[in-house]
Structure 1
């Protein structure tokens, strides 16, 4: 170390995400470029948190609206670039399809329940939105026009982000079959069971930590002035009861917040049981809702 210079410990570490160089955009599918594996958060004693960004291949004159996508996986597993089992074979991918319409898409990592308990994954989404805002000029995005879109456990976290009074406000939320209430028995879920994905998320059976479970329940966070929500849920969902979305829709409506509820007959979790054409319809309607809010 030279006098007045940085310590060796600071020099050998990777650059901080706030000012690290961005990877080059790579054309992957027609009309779309991708930036993969961008670190957005450094956690002491843990892996870096990363995101992938899909952008239209042609540089735009104006900053792009943003879709912030949050993956599912029972808060225990999952990949940031996975919109669910029924879209994995799509070519172009669902994210490339969104970007091709003139939106940016950021798919983010968050800490899973084997790494940290709630509110860690929600904190990570706050960090991602902060980083995207900080680097927005370089990325060519406008985070003031962000729609958060999540499926299953990601839908739960996306709902909490949209309802959070401490986060920068988002323009709306698209929630596919997301849990909204971790405090009460619904479907197969019982709050007394310490082995459920919900209990692993909280670090305890929800019944033994009622305040923590309430803080992690979007239903308990509904407030006047919440952004518009689109809630889509299968009526035959055997993993997350459809009543989660029905209750959240009713609470948002009572609070005077715009909400659209679409319950899908014949659909189990992850759109299992639906024909491909109906899954395409759900995606297209979700994308149309998003575009109405930000374009």
Structure 2
């Protein structure tokens, strides 16, 4: 007789939730919660920061920077200690889910977008348990994470939905806040004065080849190429002295969104480099603007 197969455990993202830990001002945090798993790879996890009091609370999915090849859900950029950053937003009444996604050493495009969409679907699928409102979900990110947040707001192509984690719930978001995001991978090298055929750039590592050699894939991975009528409200924040992601990347996306009839707030900061380096006042202002934007779009205040 054949040996009966051993029963498989449920996927990590279906496991019971941990008990929340207390934070400042009555906030709570659920650390290291799996939201998706793919065969042969680590489970993808997020940390959920909840406001004080009973929900359901609106929630912003945060996606970290690092050129798609570095970073983790524990990073909000060098201007802010991550936990302090997310607790600030939670204290203002908006939950934050800071999520990991596969880096380019693990998988190439479109895995990163698939993972971000999986996080949104998981938040909706387990909204009741999490005390969040699945109808009030925003995307927020910095640098490469801002690129993914913008794509969450703009990509509706079923071919880019992916089958990671929970499937079924929609992955659309109600608003997008993006700090210094790459938005046009086709034009990025020209904006940055770089070699478009360089296979070692962050953009080439994301795509699996230099953008110049895979223009269709570069366009597919560019928020700019997905702008259409019906886009959600956008907050775009960028330093005009950014040496890593030229400010024109945000400006170009802002222009396209306005032309499509979207509600766009584009603010650029003089003297601010990438990650708000050299401009602590710009960093503080960016956080204030982001809190106000999320509250306005998700809380109506």
TM-score, normalised relative to structure 1: 0.92
Aligned residue-pair number? 283
Tell me if structure 2 keeps the 8 A contact 1:182–1:191: no
Cα RMSD of the aligned pairs, angstroms, is 1.6
Distance across 2 between alignment mates of 1:222 and 1:191: 24
Name 1:128's counterpart in structure 2. Answer: 119
Q: How does 1:114-125 map to 2 (within 5 A)?
A: 114-125=105-116
Name 1:288's counterpart in structure 2. Answer: 292
Q: Which stretches in structure 2 are left out of the alignment for 5+ residues?
A: 158-169
Tell me if structure 1 keeps the 8 A contact 2:108–2:207: yes
Q: Is 1:180 aligned to 2:183, yes or no?
A: yes
Tell me if structure 2 keeps the 8 A contact 1:181–1:244: yes
- Per-residue CA deviation, residues 155-178 of structure 1 (Å, 9 max, x unaligned), is 011111110114532111000000
Distance across 2 between alignment mates of 1:133 and 1:170: 11
Q: Is 1:102 aligned to 2:102, yes or no?
A: no
Name 1:20's counterpart in structure 2. Answer: 15
Tell me if structure 2 keeps the 8 A contact 1:18–1:134: no
Among 248, 256, 260, the residue aligned to 1:255:
260
Question: How far apart are residue 280 of structure 1 and its match?
Answer: 1.5
Q: How does 1:1-295 map to 2 (within 5 A)?
A: 7-10=5-8, 13=9, 15-58=10-53, 60=54, 62-88=55-81, 93-166=84-157, 168-184=171-187, 185-275=190-280, 277-295=281-299
Displacement over 3 Å in runs of 4+: none
Q: Which stretches in structure 1 are left out of the alignment for 5+ residues?
A: none
TM-score, normalised relative to structure 2: 0.90
Secondary structure of residue in 2 paired with 1:85: coil
Question: How far apart are residue 146 of structure 1 and its match?
Answer: 1.1
Tell me if structure 1 keeps the 8 A contact 2:93–2:295: no
Tell me if structure 2 keeps the 8 A contact 1:183–1:207: yes
Secondary structure of residue in 2 paired with 1:147: strand
Question: How far apart are residue 192 of structure 1 and its match?
Answer: 1.6
Distance across 2 between alignment mates of 1:105 and 1:231: 18
